[in-house]
Structure 1
Amino acid sequence: MGVSNRITATLNFIALLCAIPIMSSGIWLASKPDNECIRSFRWPVFILGALMLLVCLAGFIGAYFNKQGLLALYLFCMAALIILLLVLLIFAFTVTRPDGSYAVPGRAYREYRLEGFSKWLRDYVTDSSTWQKIRTCLAESDTCPRLTQQYMSADQFLFAHISPLQARCCEPPTMCGYNYVNPTLWINPVNPGADPDCLIWNNDQNLLCYNCNSCRAGLLGNLRKEWRRVNVILIVAVVILICVYLIACSAFKNAQTEELFRRNKQGRA
């Protein structure tokens, strides 16, 4: 194995190891309650990580066994993978840039306005047929019932760092003036606020605030928080892949030159 192929094989082994945290972050995203209820958000990161693993494995095998055809295919697939990752990164940054959260007095957690998020995300969750499926999934999950087991008193609950999804789907909006009994049971005020969500709230454990706009906003708050974390991993992965790709291209050209030189030398001999 020539020097150029050794370099390519080593770099691809490193990149192959980098695919593991990407796949792990994809599995982490898919396991979150909000992503369990939104199929299209569940597996793209994991799939890209798996593709990265396969491409880097092909590059390692091609370089180690000096398979020039496999190396050429690897370089093409690597370029396509880098473009896919860049597209995903740009899209994720664009749709998660607006933040619909705001602080509320007497709460450790933040509340969320649907209008504060990007139009693409808002349109996705406000579609009636899509939200009906999401709402049913959330109601069947343990997202809200889990709160009643974790927090006994009002102080424990109100000063807990719960998720945006729990903050907006499991209790009525603070502005409505409901009185705490437990995290998913609240006493109706005499004069609820003017926000439509104040009238939508229901103590029925299958209803709660799952039909509220604030619940939709909480779901988007969760998605935004999770995808911003994953974006950091994707940025590191893209930088590593671009460096590996550029060095691999140079090594591939050098390997071809070495092979041509070897053949010419054998021909003269």
Structure 2
Amino acid sequence: MRTSNHLVGLVNFVTFLLSIPILGGGIWLSTKANSSDCLRFLQWPLIVIGVSIMVISLAGFAGSCYRNTFLLWVYLFCMFIVIVVLIGFVIFAYVVTSKGSGRDVLNRGYQDYYLEDYSGWLQKRVTDDSYWGKIRSCVRDSKVCGKMRRTYGGYYESADTFYQRKLNPVQSGCCKPPTECGKVYNNETFWSDQGGGLVGNSNDCLKWSNDQSVLCYNCDSCKAGVLASIKKSWRKVSVINIVMLILLVIVYVIGCAAFRNNRRMDNDESYGETRMTKAQPSRLNF
């Protein structure tokens, strides 16, 4: 009867250990005085997730190993909430990432990205000034554009070579002007108007700057590139969440069995104590 209790106790001991580095990572980010907005943006989700997992794991461990019915009930209630939230997140992530992808460009190895191709909810979030300020800081501080540069014998790669490169969404959207602008390649992050000028109506053509701290970080193409990157990440996370959801459901079922065992054992003990009380002979008063 106690097998389910032992399984719940073991599983929650492991999850408690896993919560320690998650919580530690969040605390470490919050104490770094020189951390960028990108790191500060991540610290609170890590701390909340770490504390939540730690508290739920302790309740499940104590409730199963010490046969505390109340703690096990609290554990099952919290686990049910986590399962419901996880199901909602998986569905939500699939819905908001069902639209949007890069557009192929003639004679180019990379794709261009357009903000209007993505779901309205994602567009609203990424165009919000407070959110985009943090994300833009992340992209700039990661130096993703500077890492694009390639030199051969002290010279930058040729335009034809660059045009055939497979750029990731952030590199394509944030580090170069959109192809429709008709700008002329000098190097990966420096483009001139010579011979081309503006051939598109996109506002991104005006927002582009050869200033290495600006580039196309304010462009809609950059926001679209970030959304394309987020979409890929969310799809991967959704697969992991589905696996976690299956495991949590299994643990929840085991926890329910442990809860029933505890209730049954509590009732048996109460029934045994009642019978022993009734079986005791009454004292005779002389």
What band does the TM-score fall into relative to the shorter chain?
Answer: 0.7 to 0.9
Alpha-carbon distance, 1:204 to partner: 1.6
How many aligned positions are there? 260
- C-alpha separation between the residues in 1 aligned to 2:264 and 2:128? 58
| Aligned positions of 1:51-200 closer than 5 A | 51-128=52-129, 130-132=131-133, 134-135=135-136, 138-148=139-149, 152-154=156-158, 157-188=162-193, 189-194=195-200, 195-200=202-207
Alpha-carbon distance, 1:43 to partner: 5.4
- C-alpha separation between the residues in 1 aligned to 2:66 and 2:151? 56
Q: Which has the higher contact order (CA 8 A, sep 6+)?
A: 1
CA root-mean-square deviation: 3.4
- The answer on 1:255 being equivalent to 2:262 is yes
- C-alpha separation between the residues in 2 aligned to 1:262 and 1:3? 19
Taking structure 1 as reference, are residues 46 and 87 closer, same or farther at Cα in structure 2, changes over 3 Å only? farther
Alpha-carbon distance, 1:118 to partner: 0.8
User: What is the TM-score of this pair, normalised by structure 2?
Assistant: 0.76
- C-alpha separation between the residues in 2 aligned to 1:263 and 1:255? 12
- The answer on 1:2 being equivalent to 2:2 is yes
Taking structure 1 as reference, are residues 250 and 198 closer, same or farther at Cα in structure 2, changes over 3 Å only? same
Whichever of the two has the greater Rg, that structure is 2
Amino acid at match of 2:126: V
- C-alpha separation between the residues in 1 aligned to 2:116 and 2:43? 24
1:124-166 residue CA offsets vs partner (Å, 9 max, x unmatched): 2223454455445544541212222689414554444432111
- The answer on 1:233 being equivalent to 2:253 is no
- C-alpha separation between the residues in 2 aligned to 1:237 and 1:67? 26
- C-alpha separation between the residues in 2 aligned to 1:150 and 1:255? 69
Alpha-carbon distance, 1:175 to partner: 2.3
Alpha-carbon distance, 1:79 to partner: 1.2
Where does the alignment leave 5 or more consecutive residues of structure 1 unmatched? none
Amino acid at match of 1:125: V
Taking structure 1 as reference, are residues 93 and 62 closer, same or farther at Cα in structure 2, changes over 3 Å only? same
- C-alpha separation between the residues in 2 aligned to 1:19 and 1:150? 43
- C-alpha separation between the residues in 1 aligned to 2:45 and 2:69? 30
Where does the alignment leave 5 or more consecutive residues of structure 2 unmatched? 30-36, 277-286
1:200-238 residue CA offsets vs partner (Å, 9 max, x unmatched): 322121221122211111121121121211111111111
- The answer on 1:12 being equivalent to 2:31 is no
Q: Are the aligned partners of 2:170 and 2:229 in contact in 1 as well (CA < 8 Å)?
A: yes
- C-alpha separation between the residues in 1 aligned to 2:248 and 2:70? 20
Moved more, 162-171 or 125-134: 125-134
- C-alpha separation between the residues in 2 aligned to 1:169 and 1:37? 20
Alpha-carbon distance, 1:58 to partner: 2.1
Taking structure 1 as reference, are residues 197 and 74 closer, same or farther at Cα in structure 2, changes over 3 Å only? same
Alpha-carbon distance, 1:266 to partner: 4.3
Moved more, 1-10 or 248-257: 1-10
Identity of aligned residues (%): 38
Alpha-carbon distance, 1:185 to partner: 0.9
User: What is the TM-score of this pair, normalised by structure 1?
Assistant: 0.80
